[in-house]
Structure 1
Amino acid sequence: MLVVGGGPVGLAAALEARRSGLSALVVEPRGTPVDKACGEGLMPRAVDLLRRWDADPAGRPLAGIAYVRDGLRAEHRFAGSPGRGVRRTVLHAALADRAEAAGVERVAERVTALSQDAGGVTAAGVRARWLLGCDGLHSTVRRLAGLEAAGRAGSGGAGRGRRGARRFGVRRHYRVAPWTDLVEVHWGRHAEAYVTPVAPDLVGVALLGPAPIDVDAELAAMPALAARLAGAEVEAADRGAGPLRQRSRARTAGRVRLVGDASGYVDALTGEGLRLGFAQAVASVAHLDDPAGYERAWAAATRDYRLLTSTLVAVATSPLRGALVPAAVRLPPVFAGAVERLAR
Structure 2
Amino acid sequence: MSPVDLVVAGGGPAGLVTALHAARAGLDVEVWEPRAGAVDKACGEGLMPGPLASLQALGVDPPGHPFHGIRYVDAGGAADADFRHGAGRGIRRTVLHDALRGAAVAAGARIAQRAVGAVTQDGEAVTVDGTRARHLVAADGLHSPLRRALGLDAAPARQRRYGLRRHFRTAPWSPYVEVYWGREVEAYVTPVAGDLVGVAVLGARAGSFDERVRLLPGLGARLGDAAPVGAVRGAGPLRRGARARVAGRVLLVGDAAGYIDALTGEGLALAFAQAEAAVRAITDGVPQRYERDWARLTRRYRWLTAALLAGTRPAAARRVLVPASRVLSPVFSAAVNALARPVGTS
TM-score w.r.t. structure 1 length? 0.94
Alignment of 1:152-301 (within 5 A): 153=156, 155=157, 164-288=158-282, 289-301=285-297
Q: RMSD between aligned alpha carbons?
A: 1.3
- Aligned-partner Cα distance in 1 for 2:68–2:127: 44
Q: Which moved more, 1:283-292 or 1:16-25?
A: 283-292
1:160 is matched with which residue?
A: none
Q: Which moved more, 1:43-52 or 1:302-311?
A: 43-52
Corresponding position: 1:143 with 2:148: yes
1:111 to 96, 105, 116: 116
State the SS of the aligned residue for 2:191: strand
For residues 25-75 of structure 1, what are the alpha-carbon distances to aligned partners after superposition, in whole Å with 9 as ceiling and x for unaligned? 001110120221010001112212212321111101121111111132111
For residues 112-131 of structure 1, what are the alpha-carbon distances to aligned partners after superposition, in whole Å with 9 as ceiling and x for unaligned? 22111111111133211111
The one-letter code matched in structure 1 to 2:103 is R
- Aligned-partner Cα distance in 2 for 1:126–1:47: 35
Corresponding position: 1:313 with 2:318: no
For residues 128-186 of structure 1, what are the alpha-carbon distances to aligned partners after superposition, in whole Å with 9 as ceiling and x for unaligned? 1111110110011111222222x2x3x1xxxxxxxx43000000100000011211000
- Aligned-partner Cα distance in 1 for 2:187–2:131: 42
2:325 to 301, 325, 328: 328
Q: Displaced runs of 4+ in structure 1, greater than 3 A?
A: none
Deviation at 1:302, TM superposition (A): 0.8
Deviation at 1:315, TM superposition (A): 2.2
Corresponding position: 1:97 with 2:97: no
TM-score w.r.t. structure 2 length? 0.93
Corresponding position: 1:55 with 2:60: yes
For residues 1-35 of structure 1, what are the alpha-carbon distances to aligned partners after superposition, in whole Å with 9 as ceiling and x for unaligned? 11000001100000000111111100111012022
Identity %: 54
- Aligned-partner Cα distance in 2 for 1:213–1:282: 38
- Aligned-partner Cα distance in 2 for 1:211–1:203: 23
- Aligned-partner Cα distance in 1 for 2:205–2:121: 38
Corresponding position: 1:23 with 2:28: yes
State the SS of the aligned residue for 1:207: strand
Question: Structure 1: which 5+ residue stretches go unaligned?
Answer: 156-163
Paired residues, what number? 333
The one-letter code matched in structure 2 to 1:339 is V
Deviation at 1:321, TM superposition (A): 2.1
1:131 to 129, 136, 141: 136
Question: Structure 2: which 5+ residue stretches go unaligned?
Answer: 1-5, 342-346
